[in-house]
Amino acid sequence: MNIIYPMFALVVVTFVVGLSMGAARLISVKKGQVNPKYYKLLTGYEAPENIIKLSNNFSNLLEVPILFYILGVLLVALDISNSVILILAWCFVALRIVHSVIHITYNHPKHRFYAFLTSSLIVFAMWVQLIILIS
C-alpha cells in the first residue's frame, strides 16, 4: 500500500524534530543556559528560544498528523488504494515539513499559519475522499 510511504516520511520528520529537541535540551543544560530542573515540569526557569520552538513543533507533529495516521491505517485496513488520496498525502507531508522548517527557523506566524491551514485542509480533503470511496 503506497500510503505507507508518506506516513513513514512524516514519522521520520517527527523523529528528526524530536531527536533535535532532545539534543538541544542536553546542550542547553551542558552550556549552562538552562537549569536541569526546568525539564522536570517545564516550569520555573526560562528555556532558550530554540528549545521552545523545537518543543512546540514536536507537539504540533503529534496533533493534526494523528488524523493523517488514522486515515492511513484505515486505508490499509480497508485495502483502499487511491491516487487522489496518495497525492494529497504527499502534499500533506510536504506542507508539514514546510511548517516545521518555518517553525524552527525564522518562525514567521503568518507563514507558519498558511502552511498549517493548508495542510489541515488537505488532511480534511483526504477524509472526505475516503468517505466518498466507502459510500
Question: In this predicted model, what pLDDT tens digit does every residue of 45-69 receive, in sequence order?
Answer: 788 899 999 999 999 999 999 999 9
Tell me the C-alpha distance between 123 and 75, whole Å: 13
Mean per-residue pLDDT, 64-85: 97
Does the domain at 4-134 match CATH 1.10.10.10? Answer given as no
Assessment of whether the complete model's pTM goes beyond 0.85: yes
For residues 40 and 107, the model is more confident at 107
54 to 20, 25, 42: CA distances (angstroms): 7, 10, 14
Mean per-residue pLDDT, 73-84: 96
Mean pLDDT in the chain?
Answer: 95
Tell me the C-alpha distance between 72 and 78, whole Å: 10
* Domain limits, the chain: 4-134
Write the secondary structure of 62-117 as one string of H (helix), E (strand) and C (coil). Answer: CCCHHHHHHHHHHHHHCCCCCHHHHHHHHHHHHHHHHHHHHHHCCCCHHHHHHHHH
